[in-house]
Structure 1
Amino acid sequence: MPEQPRTAAVTAVVAGVPVDTRHWIGGRRVASAGTFTDRSPIDGRALAEVSRGGAAEAGAAVAAAAAAFPGWAATPRAERARLLHAVADGVQQRLEELAQVETADNGALLRSHRRGVMPRVAHNFRFFADRLLTLDHEDFETRGHSNHVSWDPAGPCVLITPWNAPLMLASWKVAPALAAGNTVVLKPAEWSPLTASLLADIAAEAGLPDGVLNVVQGLGDEAGAALVSHPDVRRISFTGSVPTARRIAGAAAANLTPVSLELGGKSPLLVFADADLDLAVDLAVEQYDNAGQVCLAGTRLLVESSIAEEFLRRFAVRAAALTPGDPRDEATDLGPTVHRRQLDRIDGFVRRALDAGARAVVGGGPDEDLGGLHYRPTLLTDVAQDSEIVQEEVFGPVLTLQTFDTEDEAVELANGTRFGLAAVLATGDPERADRVTARLVAGTVWVNCFFVRDLRAPFGGSRHSGIGREGGSWSFDFYCDLKNTVTAPKGGPGHG
């Protein structure tokens, strides 16, 4: 594919920031014959015509990653770490631009991007750069023989990221994959591809060698399918839906390619009568963050019967105080959903639940005053445990409330879905907290708090919420081939 000249046709200006809409392959910009339209969820306007990759672009990107792999894998740890810190510096320097572009692209709050999300992107690169330098396992002996564990780079990695936190979740995968000595092909979601292109620019400016990071844009059934089925790919990491994960796992199985899957959730938020009720209500309302488009959200409120009425009263007051609106406004608490298809999907779940007998005590439909892609924060009661609205991930600002009378009943309800990503527990009894958390099926449990994340901790889900763990050394375990070298003692042959 010939290199294309940089012209207005391949550059979009988003929130005043020029964004190249072509792929980044082998250290150069490459255009496709076709494009797809990327629209802002804020007002529906077209932000960019983005190069629509397919099998040819996927193949070229994997080839570029494979060609760059030997040199990058042989790069000393300290140099790889230095370059990742340089990428973090670039993110920090362009933090406002990244925040503005991502808000325009996916509709999440600008204040969150400025204060939390984009600083976290830089932190992700710094954390894994530093972790690389301390990655070690103590040598040990077996009948006089020494054992030495090492983490060998695996090869080209395909990383497929979602639209709800595009750059942060990309950095959560890209940083450890690169730190481990692998090369990367990043495929961003087609509903929010723009900051991945800016990341390619930042990485190039930081001095990352050509082909070490590649970005291929396009649709999942085209570019994504070609990437995950490529025989030269050594690792696949995906964050997204269960149905897509099944297709990826099937394609990866044909090549025996290891996969890491961070999937959906239907997490419970348990509130016991001994909880600080104001804190519990605050935690529950916090689940509307990012218009409910958060995989970890505790969308199933499980409240002890004796306090349910008072909990509902306080919750309704707090939810009514949320300010919906333009996500670029500092006063806005609740922005739009990401896409018309997503809004319709959310509303479909709610309408079917209402038809089945659920009651909307808060919200219950699109925001008619704001229009567009705004959906009112919603809380549904009178829902059965086996109902669709309780069992399936909505991924919008929709919560359900069920009551329980005993600790056993609370745990049974909490574990009563096919998911196991996270759980939130509100209680004033430390012994109860220990008992309940030990019984919950979840990758992360928060007790009297929510969304406190540390990269030193493992992250991932159980059951249909995923395969594998990321964070800390767990990321390196996935992105590397672990090797144990056994050496005989000096002065004679060894036998196992």
Structure 2
Amino acid sequence: MTEHTLTVAGVAIDTRHWIGGERVASTETFTDVSPIDGSVLGEISRGTATEAAAAVAAAKAAFPGWAATPRAERARVLHAIADGVEKRLEELAIVETTDNGALLRSHRRGVMPRVAHNFRFFADWLLQLEHEDFDTRGHTNHVSWDPAGPSVLITPWNAPLMLSTWKVAPALAAGNTVVLKPAEWTPLTASLLADIAAEAGLPAGVLNVVQGYGSEIGDALTSHPDVRRISFTGSVPTAKRISESASGNLTPLSLELGGKSPLLVFADADLDLAVDLAVEQYDNAGQVCLAATRFLVEESVAEEFTRRFVQKAATLVQGDPRDEATDIGPNIHPNQLDKIDGFVQRALAAGARAVIGGHRKDGQYYAPTLLTDVAQDSEIVQEEVFGPVLTLQTFTTEEEAVRLANDTRFGLAATLATGDPERAERVTARLVAGTVWVNCFFVRDLQAPFGGSRHSGVGREGGTWSFDFYCDIKNTVTAPKGWKDHG
């Protein structure tokens, strides 16, 4: 192995940036640590404005050729990338688990297959992307999607490769070139993606990967005048900084910013189903933007719901995410663990009661927690914790349930448990959320729009909505007259 290579479970990973089809090292590095046991995985090239400028320049240089590439050829390359992901699925799964602490069984069975699906879906959608021509007083209107240009994609650490390719795939399908900046806590699978894309025949400069801290490289990317699109998934404060940085060039933004989503449980619900949905919110150690972290339960069934929830949660196994029996792994970083515990301890000091959990465990593990006796205007109810911490409040009327559900600054998702289809229709129509699940959770189709309202984001991803963002949409109007005879 070279000084720029580290090994995870036998998988060799290049620690340098990928710019213009070549590996590029930085003079400085940052340390990548596994949340499973705190072990050092390696030193990663730490990008600055220099690498940012080089990556954007490479993307700009490659853009004309990729944009002019026929749709069918772009789709073929994306399918080839999907083939590469599937070929290396086990390697990607173990590397991602080691790097971010999510369950290995989930990476094998769901997450990494979804990575491949991201590429296949947008490759296929590209080939059917069209708008039927329409007439205006005898003139023909033709709508087209023109590639916009170099795109900067900044992605989070909770599902690194899946969420990266959720952006990379449609951007490439649209004919854009990409600069991907993965989260500094989880950089490894983005480096492997660069290798897979190159092996699949993606031309040099079409996909670039730069690593580092957002505070050191982020502004150089988001303020660059040659960047035509910016897509970001992460926190509200970071999104505000990106928005300010991009404003000088009026660069269009797509922002997915998390939430504080409710789970509404009505007395007419199947309580076993409701409890199953509730316990599922501990998935990925609570590090899921869509998680319904606020339980709103009708008062008449709250005691029974809580009893069943506690019983079900007690069966969860917390431990090493590489073990097939594990249900909850570690939290990503000591800083995040401190943040989670800070939220909980402040809530307890303010009068909340921990029905279960409420404390740290060994290492970077936090006990699954459910807090009751919380006020609607309290920090623990209003702010995103991003850990295995849930709250429970009660309501007595449908009107009160909707009011409580909508009473935060977020609006990403909502989950509803009820046995009454008419109630479901009434309530979902009034919920402020980009996605509402009724008697289910986390059913996601790439054809559907995804995004949030209020502080949960700007814009939508998925299907044609993704192409609408990554393209300049053009309408060409042609008159029925004026043609010269070329016979």
**Same fold per superposition (TM over 0.5):** yes
Query: 1:149 offset after TM fit, Å?
Result: 0.3
Q: AA paired with 1:195? A: T
User: Partner of 1:314 in structure 2?
Assistant: 308
Deviation at 1:490, TM superposition (A): 2.7
Letter in 2 for 1:28: E
Q: CA deviation at 1:15?
A: 1.5
Count of aligned pairs between the two proteins: 484
SS in 2 for 1:8: coil
- Tell me the distance in 1 between the aligned counterparts of 2:120 and 2:42: 31
TM-superposed CA distance for 1:197, in Å, is: 0.1
The partner residue of 2:192 within 198, 214, 232 is 198
CA distance in 1, matches of 2:383, 2:395: 20
Q: For 1:11-50, list aligned pairs within 5 A.
A: 11-50=5-44
Give 2:446's aligned amino acid: L
Give matches, 1:263-412, under 5 Å.
263-367=257-361, 371-412=362-403
Which runs of structure 2 are paired with 1:34-433 in the superposition (5 Å)?
34-367=28-361, 371-433=362-424
Q: Return the offset for 1:219.
A: 0.3
Paired letter, 1:145: H
Distance across 1 between alignment mates of 2:219 and 2:154: 11
Percent of residue pairs bearing the same amino acid type: 82
Q: Residue 220 of structure 2 aligns to which amino acid in structure 1?
A: A
Helix, strand or coil at the partner of 1:231: coil
Q: Deviations over 1:37-90 (max 9, x none)?
A: 000000101101000001000000000000000000000000000000000000
Is residue 460 of structure 1 aligned with residue 451 of structure 2?
yes
The AA in structure 1 aligned to 2:456 is S
State how far apart, in whole Å, the 2-side matches of 1:208 and 1:491 are: 42
Post-superposition Cα deviations, 1:268-327, rounded to whole Å, max 9, x if no partner, equal 000000000000000000000000000000000000000000001000001111000000
The 4+ residue runs of structure 1 with deviation greater than 4 A are none
Aligned to 1:434: 425
- 1:294 and 1:46 map into 2 onto residues whose CA distance is 25
- Ranges in structure 2 where 5+ consecutive residues have no aligned partner: none
Aligned to 1:255, the other structure's residue is in SS state coil
How far has the Cα of 1:225 moved from its partner? 1.8
How far apart are residue 93 of structure 1 and its match?
A: 0.3
**In the alignment, which of 466, 470, 485 is matched to residue 476 of structure 2?**
485
Query: Gaps (5+ residues) in structure 1?
Result: 1-6
- TM-score, structure 2 normalization: 0.99
User: 3-state SS of the aligned residue for 1:9?
Assistant: coil
SS of 2:337's equivalent? Answer: helix
AA matched with 2:38: G
1:113-142 Cα offsets, whole Å, 9 max, x none, are: 000000000000000000000000000011
Cα distance, 1:226 vs structure 2: 1.1
- What is residue 3 of structure 1 aligned with on the other side? none
> Aligned partners of 2:37 and 2:483: how far apart in 1?
75
1:4 is aligned to none
- In 2, Cα distance between the equivalents of 1:463 and 1:134? 32
Q: Which amino acid aligns with 1:327?
A: P
**Structure 1 residue 491, shift from structure 2 partner:** 4.7
- For residue 270 of structure 1, give the secondary structure of its aligned residue in structure 2: strand
Distance 2:222 2:359 in 1: 37
Partner amino acid, structure 2, of 1:389: I
Deviation at 1:100, TM superposition (A): 0.3
SS in 2 for 1:360: strand
Q: Bigger CA drift: 7-16 or 228-237?
A: 7-16
CA distance in 2, matches of 1:237, 1:188: 12
Q: Which amino acid aligns with 2:71?
A: R
Find the aligned partners of 1:206 and 1:78 in 2 and give their Cα distance.
15
Find the aligned partners of 1:94 and 1:451 in 2 and give their Cα distance.
26
| 1:326 maps to amino acid | D
SS in 2 for 1:483: strand
State how far apart, in whole Å, the 1-side matches of 2:219 and 2:366 are: 32
Residue type at the aligned position of 1:168: M
CA–CA distance in 2 between the matches of 1:445 and 1:362?
27
